[in-house]
């Protein structure tokens, strides 16, 4: 397989997009010192609190992503069931029309056949169970009645399944709402804490992000090859997104969260993988050793498996790290997140 060197950075139009949190941090860093709040002896811990809120927001984002993926699957199932029920209803309506014509003809000739009465009955099962009726039906009539009965039962079943799926969908959408509220609350709290930092502290935080971006731009990835062609293709797609902003719940092409980047990149390679980091951790072949990783392997981070990126070579990870940051290369040793295992697809 071809080796992977760092590609050219994307167009500046992409990199100009920032998350609301990042924009807030930049704007705040431009304020004068005279606008700063009074000194606070606990200020030294504020940045740590912000980082923790970002981590909790990304964990909630993965839960939101999982719920959204489930909701999309349920929505498709509901639509399929409803379409099938509609087709079955059309078949039943056609059969009823034929029965109605038969009933009119029989009424004019002096009576309605029991088979016709059955098909016009609101309780065909109970009507059909009458022993006296069974004795009076011909084989052909009985066949028609059984067909009608079967189609009606199938229609009822289809509608019941669609109704149950709709209930599940409502529950999952409620879960999505809860996770979204949680994410927004944590990001709002992070912005509030950013407001309490001094101009000097804000400038320092902005400088650290700028340094991380500069380090990413000059990262040495080495010349190691990927394990497969499709992995190489997915990794190349991810490399083309360096500089794109982190946005929770985003899956490209102009912004990403962590698992949004990896799932998007594999889609570009024609490979479908789950949307969340926890689900991605359970596909493919597990690679337990850091030394055995190859460029393009997925890297699962944190004990709750809430972060994922691409192994980029030479001890580097390519990922969408957190709110306020951009897709970038970063030393795994300096990422601050424990490595759990790799995944090879």
Measured CA to CA, the distance from residue 201 to residue 40 in angstroms comes to 12
Active-site residue, from 4, 11, 156, 307:
307
- DSSP assignment of 221-277 equals --SPBPSSHHHHHHHHHHHTTTTPBB-TT-BSSS-B-HHHHHHHHHHHTT----SSH
Contact call for residues 284 and 343 (beta carbons, < 8 A): yes
Count CB atoms within 10 A of the CB of residue 204: 13
Buried b (16+ CB within 10 A) or exposed e, 128-156: beeeebeeebeeebeebbeebbeebeebe
Alpha helical stretches, state H, 109-130: 114-119, 124-128
Pairing of strands 298-301, 285-287: unpaired
- Note whether 109 and 116 are within 8 A (CB): no
Place of tokens 């998350």: 19
Neighbouring residues of 252: CB distance < 8 A, sequence distance ≥ 6: 241, 244, 260, 261, 264
Query: Rounded distance, CA 184 to CA 196, Å?
Result: 19
Strand partners, 287: 342
Are the C-beta atoms of residues 85 and 155 closer than 8 Å to each other?
yes
Which candidate in 4, 11, 156, 319 is catalytic? 319
Report the alpha-carbon distance of residue 247 to residue 256 in Å, rounded. Answer: 5
What is the C-alpha to C-alpha distance for residues 194 and 49, in angstroms, rounded to an integer? 10
Q: Give me the long-range contacts of 200-205 (CB less than 8 A, separation at least 24).
A: 200/33, 201/43, 201/46, 201/47, 202/25, 202/28, 202/29, 202/31, 203/29, 205/25, 205/29, 205/47
319 catalytic? Reply is yes
Active site amino acids: 258, 307, 319
């Amino acid at each position: 397989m071809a080796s992977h060197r760092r590609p050219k950075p994307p167009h500046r139009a992409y990199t100009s997009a920032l998350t609301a949190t990042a924009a807030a941090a930049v704007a705040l860093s431009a304020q004068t010192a005279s606008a700063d709040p009074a000194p606070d002896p606990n200020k030294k811990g504020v940045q740590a609190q912000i980082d923790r809120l970002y981590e909790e927001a990304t964990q909630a984002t993965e839960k939101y992503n999982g719920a959204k993926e489930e909701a999309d699957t349920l929505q498709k199932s509901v639509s399929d069931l409803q379409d099938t029920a509609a087709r079955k209803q059309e078949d039943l309506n056609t059969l009823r029309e034929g029965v109605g014509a038969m009933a009119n003809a029989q009424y004019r000739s002096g009576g309605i056949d029991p088979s016709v009465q059955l098909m016009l009955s609101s309780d065909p099962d109970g009507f059909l169970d009458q022993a006296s009726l069974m004795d009076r039906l011909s084989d052909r009539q009985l066949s028609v009645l059984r067909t009608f009965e079967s189609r009606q039962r199938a229609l009822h079943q289809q509608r019941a399944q669609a109704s149950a799926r709709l209930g599940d969908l409502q529950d999952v959408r409620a879960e999505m709402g809860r996770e979204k509220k949680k994410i927004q609350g944590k990001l709002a709290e992070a912005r509030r804490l950013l407001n309490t930092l001094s101009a000097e502290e804000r400038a320092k935080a902005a400088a650290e992000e700028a340094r991380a971006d500069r380090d990413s731009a000059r990262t040495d990835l080495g010349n190691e090859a990927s394990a497969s062609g499709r992995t190489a293709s997915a990794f190349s797609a991810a490399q083309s997104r360096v500089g794109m902003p982190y946005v929770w719940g985003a899956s490209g092409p102009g912004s990403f969260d962590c698992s949004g980047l990896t799932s998007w990149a594999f889609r570009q390679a024609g490979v479908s993988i789950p949307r969340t980091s926890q689900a991605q951790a359970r596909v493919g072949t597990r690679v337990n050793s850091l030394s055995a990783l190859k460029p393009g392997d997925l890297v699962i981070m944190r004990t709750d498996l809430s972060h994922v990126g691409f192994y980029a070579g030479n001890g580097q990870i390519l990922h969408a790290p957190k709110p306020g940051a951009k897709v970038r290369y970063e030393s795994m040793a300096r990422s601050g997140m424990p490595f759990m295992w790799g995944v090879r697809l």
